[in-house]
Structure 1
Amino acid sequence: MTATKPSVLFVCVHNAGRSQMAAGWLRHLAGDAVEVRSAGSAPADRINPVAVEAMAEVGIDITAQTPKILTHEDAEASSVVITMGCGDVCPYFPGQRHEDWTLDDPAGQGIEAVRAIRDEIGDRVRALVAGLLPHRARS
């Protein structure tokens, strides 16, 4: 993290739903003021298409993203690490802020359930942006 640009890593098991939606929200809300990463402890082959659909409904396109494996380097380079059901696989480095967001997994869920998850993630990311960039927080 530099003095002016925080870095956030979102981690869930498959990096196909929750973490990808959170990363999409953060890119949308913070622009290039925050470095955004997402990864998974056991990445899926592709992003959950229902998560893609739900995000598109709010004008956020995550179709170009692909699930990625969690690396030690990505974790170490992040000033904020937010886990979403990946247990203790995330390494901890001194000076990092760690949060665990308890969220339902969108895997196998219909669009109605995924919309609710999307909206909860959006609310949490808005609060995160307000804390990281109080001068730039927007909805």
Structure 2
Amino acid sequence: MTDRSEAVIPRVLFVCVHNAGRSQMAAAFLEHLGGDRVEVRSAGSAPADEVNPAVVEAMGEVGIDITAGTPKLLTPDAVRASDVVVTMGCGDACPFFPGKRYLDWELPDPAGRGVEAVRPIRDRIKRHVEDLLRELVP
């Protein structure tokens, strides 16, 4: 049996432009579903001042509180420190480092949309996160 302290914990970085919607939801779902089996970060190439209120409300509806979340600036160090980088519309702003696994999830941007429009985006993100978690932590 492997000692938990020696186990390799996958490190995942979620990136979108403003780090106020999609990447916040993805990170929250992975933290919620993966617990201590994964290390999770999120960032944006041009971070907003706050997490989108409709996103906060939509996540609250599924029992995940992200009210304390704050958008963070994407840095090369954050990418370097990650095993998997999941982009969601950040385009060429995301730095590329050899040896990292990159995934691009095409999802609508929830910016400027109400909670009704955010719910289906949230649900798609949850399905993507569940699939990723099954791959990373069999």
Tell me which interval the TM-score lies in, with the shorter structure as reference length.
Answer: over 0.9
Could you say what secondary structure the match of 1:117 adopts? helix
Could you say what secondary structure the match of 1:88 adopts? helix
2:119 alignment counterpart? 115
CA deviation profile, 1:55-111 (whole Å, cap 9, x unmatched): 000011111110000011001000000000010111122221101110000111111
Match of 1:102 among 95, 103, 106: 106
List alignment gaps of at least 5 residues for structure 1: 135-139
What pairs with 1:70-109 in structure 2 (closer than 5 Å)? 70-109=74-113
Q: Distance in 2 between matches of 1:47 and 1:117?
A: 15
* Partner amino acid, structure 1, of 2:62: V
1:15 alignment counterpart? 19
Question: Is 1:59 aligned with 2:63?
Answer: yes
Q: Which runs of 4+ in 1 moved over 6 A?
A: none
Cα-Cα RMSD:
1.1
1:31 alignment counterpart? 35
Shift of 1:3: 5.5
What is the aligned-residue identity percentage? 68
CA deviation profile, 1:12-62 (whole Å, cap 9, x unmatched): 000000000000000000001111000000000000000000000001111
Bigger fraction of residues in helix: 2
Question: Is 1:130 aligned with 2:134?
Answer: yes
Q: Distance in 1 between matches of 2:7 and 2:103?
A: 21
Larger Rg: 2
Shift of 1:9: 0.4
Could you say what secondary structure the match of 1:61 adopts? coil
Q: Distance in 1 between matches of 2:101 and 2:91?
A: 16
Q: How many residues align?
A: 133
